[in-house]
Structure 1
Amino acid sequence: MGTLAWWEVPARLGVALLLGAGVGLERQWRSRMAGLRTNALVSIGAALFVLFSVLTPEDNSPTRIASYVVSGVGFLGAGVIIRDRGNLRGINTAATVWGTAGVGVMAGGGHFLVAALGAAAIVLANVVLRSMARRVDRREVERDEGPRSYRFRAVCRDADEAHIRALVVQSLTAGGFALCALDSEDINNTGKVAVTARLNGQGQGSGQLEQAVSRLSLEPGISSVSWRVGDDEEDL
């Protein structure tokens, strides 16, 4: 087998398989999209590409092949990222697949210790840092859970006032806010009305209001939508 002993190819592929499966086992246990088989296959594939360059040294450089593996796995990782209601899901899984390819490259190159350390680091990052991230998120939520007041304002055509008032109430209460007051005011000789809502939120932040603004801004009768923290009488 060229510059390799007969046992080195199966040994490198075996290590790539075991380490990739070890990384994927944690993903499978958490019911992620790229689980046991995916990470094992990514690791084996990366090892095979590196082995090809090792077995044909006159035509290929292992480092150049490794750079191609990184680019190819980048496209694969992008396939597990999903946009869900403005939020991105699967980024951690995509990063795990990318790291598993690195493990496979190391195993294919015969650097077994580095490959094992890399796989262990990936699993530790997914397990240990997960709980740490949740604690940080929980503290952030607890900090924002105090009651807050908001003022929301939408400018619409006079003929659409009743419809827009109903939409404002529906959108804001659906976000978990308590509606304290809803007022309408004619804008001088413009044929438009300003619908103003005063709200209280217990733990609700700007994200829900931004979603309500996005929904209402699509209404053809609305010319402007704005909001801010506080319920004082200054203009928005």
Structure 2
Amino acid sequence: MLAIQNINLISLLDTLVSLTTAFVLGGLIGFERQYRQRTAGLRTNVLVAVGAAVFVDMANRLGGHEGAVHVVAYVVSGIGFLGAGVIMREEGNVRGINTAATLWGSAAVGAAAGADLILEAVMGTLFVLAANTLLRPIVNSINRQPLDIISVEVTNTVYVIANRESQKGVLAILEGELERCSYPIRNLDIHAFGEDDVEIEATLAATSVEGVELDALVQRLAVSPTVRQAFWSPSTTE
């Protein structure tokens, strides 16, 4: 039987090393994504890395180096469909691009492991992790700087509804919370909301925000007895 004839313990050991490497390195990349509660987390990145390693290792064994190169090309193009599935558009904000790029990196790591390029796979993992961790503070610092232009492509606004008599106190709380999160206010509007309430609209100067931080911020505002309602929303301007 051909299946029995294809059993090669040396080749099987080589495959084990490749898949184990892909599993561990994909797990490292996925752990960082899972920790930040992204769309594609630990299991997804491991599956992408191991899947890429299986295909490349199989092609390397059946078709040699040339066959492996062809499969790598298919992995590069095919992973784009998986990445597109985690990209979402929400009211002008496009989310998930970084997650899709991370999946692409996991596939590259897996392909390198499948091609028996273990050190290259380790190096690729380190660079993917560095992009997602070491560069994050720099990106956040840049994104939170106020813009000099009047209109931007995407703006984010925090809305607070409060009693008219508590307006000053609520405004102070809102400004304090935004300052603590390093989100400077670009524009502030206050207008009547019904007979007894006012709505405070604080448009942020930062064009990129962490949705989790703003969710937590409005939750802290909402527990205040002087706040009737608090929420935030992204919007686009032409």
TM-score by length of 1: 0.60
1:127 paired residue among 133, 138, 141: 133
2:101 paired residue among 92, 95, 99: 95
User: Does the C-alpha gap of structure 1 residues 111 and 87 become closer, same or farther in structure 2, counting only changes over 3 Å?
Assistant: same
User: Does the C-alpha gap of structure 1 residues 212 and 37 become closer, same or farther in structure 2, counting only changes over 3 Å?
Assistant: closer
User: Does the C-alpha gap of structure 1 residues 212 and 58 become closer, same or farther in structure 2, counting only changes over 3 Å?
Assistant: closer
Question: Which structure 2 residue ranges, 5 or more long, are not aligned?
Answer: 1-6, 151-186, 192-201, 208-232
Does the CA-based 8 Å contact 1:28-1:35 persist in structure 2?
Answer: yes
TM-score by length of 2: 0.60
Aligned to 2:123: 117
In structure 1, what is the Cα distance between the partners aligned to 2:206 and 2:42?
A: 38
Aligned pair 1:57/2:63, yes or no? Answer: yes
Aligned to 1:14: 20
In structure 1, what is the Cα distance between the partners aligned to 2:90 and 2:124?
A: 31
Output one character per residue of 1:31-76: Cα deviation in whole Å (capped at 9) or x when no partner.
0010100000000000000011112127971110001111111100
Deviation at 1:17, TM superposition (A): 0.3
Deviation at 1:5, TM superposition (A): 3.2
Output one character per residue of 1:111-150: Cα deviation in whole Å (capped at 9) or x when no partner.
10000010011011100111110011122x2x559xx8xx
In structure 2, what is the Cα distance between the partners aligned to 1:23 and 1:205?
A: 28
Amino acid in the other structure paired with 2:144: R
Percent identity over paired residues: 39
Question: Which structure 1 residue ranges, 5 or more long, are not aligned?
Answer: 149-174, 180-200, 214-236
Deviation at 1:7, TM superposition (A): 1.2
Larger Rg: 1
Say what the alpha-carbon RMSD is for the aligned residues. 3.3
2:48 paired residue among 26, 39, 42: 42
* Structure 1 residues 218-233: aligned runs within 5 Å: none
User: Does the C-alpha gap of structure 1 residues 177 and 59 become closer, same or farther in structure 2, counting only changes over 3 Å?
Assistant: same
- Count residues in correspondence: 162
Runs of 4+ in 1 over 4 A off after TM superposition: 1-4, 201-206, 210-213
In structure 2, what is the Cα distance between the partners aligned to 1:95 and 1:205?
A: 23
